[in-house]
A and B are shown apart, each in its own frame.
Chain A
Amino acid sequence: MEEIIKLHYVYLGYSLLAAILAIALLKAAGTNMQKIPGRFQNAMEFALDGLRGLFSGALGKGNEEHLPFVMMLFFFILISNFLEFIPGIRSPSAATSITMALGVLSFFYIQAAGIRAHGVWGYVKHFGGTIMWLAPLFFIIEIIGELSKPFSLGMRLFGNVYGEDQILVQVFTAMGHNIALRIGMIPLQVLTNILQCFTNLVQAFIFPLLVSAFIASMASHSDEEEGGHDAPAAA
Chain B
Amino acid sequence: MSAAIYFGLVALGAALAAPLAAIGAGIGEGLIFAAAIEGVARQPEAQGRIQILMFLTFALVETLFILSFVIFFMMKGLLPTGDWHSIAQALNGVGH
In the bound complex, CA of A235 to CA of B55 (Å): 15
Chain A residues with CB under 8 A of B67: 155, 159
Chain B residues with CB under 8 A of A203: 59
Task: Check A156/B52 contact, CB under 8 A, given A162-B70, A163-B73.
Answer: no
Task: Scan residues 182-235 of chain A and give those whose CB is less than 8 A from a CB of chain B.
Answer: 202-203, 205-206, 209-210, 230, 232, 234-235
In the bound complex, CA of A202 to CA of B52 (Å): 11
In the bound complex, CA of A134 to CA of B89 (Å): 53
- State which size class the interface on A falls in: 20 to 34
Describe B's contact surface by its main secondary structure: helix
Task: Scan residues 45-79 of chain B and give those whose CB is less than 8 A from a CB of chain A.
Answer: 49, 52-53, 55-56, 58-60, 62-63, 66-67, 69-70, 73
| Residue from the list B62, B70, B96 in contact with A158, Cβ < 8 A | B70
Interface residues of B, count at CB 8 A: 16
Q: Is the CB of A162 within 8 A of B73?
A: yes
Chain A residues with CB under 8 A of B59: 156, 202-203, 205-206
Q: Is the CB of B60 within 8 A of A159?
A: no
In the bound complex, CA of A3 to CA of B96 (Å): 10
B33 to chain A, nearest CB (A): 14
Chain A 139-162, CB-CB to B under 8 Å as 1, else 0, gives 000000000000010011011101
